[in-house]
Amino acid sequence: MFFLSRLRLIFLLDATLLIAICALETVNFTGLILHEWLGLLMPFLILAHLLFSWTWIAATTRRLFSSRSGRADTRTRINYFLTLALFACITAQILSGILISQQAIPFLTKKPALALTENLAWGRIHKNSSDFAVALVSFHLAINWNWLAAAVRSRLGWRKAGAR
């Protein structure tokens, strides 16, 4: 029972994270105000995502960096370093977003926003890390596809053809 509700929670959280990233990548669709507030929610969603994945993160880090544990296979290594790159990319996006913020941060700090034209370097980092994130999120989904498909099947009560 606990397992089922935990799986459901992880599934809902991951679906929310994916929808939030898609929305954040389409600023023209959301508008800048929604974009910035949604962007500020991301650290909480990512922290929750990492906490739910903590067992995998801790076990894989031990396997990769300790000589006593068994060697990690190539797929696990690629998955680990892709995840690390994605984390770095999203951290850069959020930090650069905060530094170029035109709405949310000026509202919270009650200080005027710096014009985007005066903050070109951070603007470029924000745009480039967003482009990288699209590729990295796609790889992240692809490499974890079996887990994702199993979670969707179990959530919808489907079983593989032939499975009893």
**Footprint of ligand HEM (CB under 6 A):** 21, 24-25, 27, 32, 35-36, 39-40, 42, 90, 93-94, 97-98, 100-102, 104-105, 116, 123, 126-127, 130, 133
Nearer to ligand HEM (CB atom), residue 72 or residue 82: 82
**Cβ neighbourhood burial of 133 (10 Å; 0-12, 13-18, 19+):** buried
Instruction: Name the DSSP letter for residue 119.
Output: -
At closest approach, how far in Å is the CB of 44 from ligand HEM? Answer: 12
Nearer to ligand HEM (CB atom), residue 72 or residue 94: 94
At closest approach, how far in Å is the CB of 85 from ligand HEM? Answer: 14
Nearer to ligand HEM (CB atom), residue 20 or residue 143: 20
Q: Tell me the angle at which helices 74-100 and 54-65 cross, rounded to the nearest 10 degrees.
A: 120
Nearer to ligand HEM (CB atom), residue 105 or residue 148: 105
Separation of alpha carbons 30 and 95, rounded Å: 20
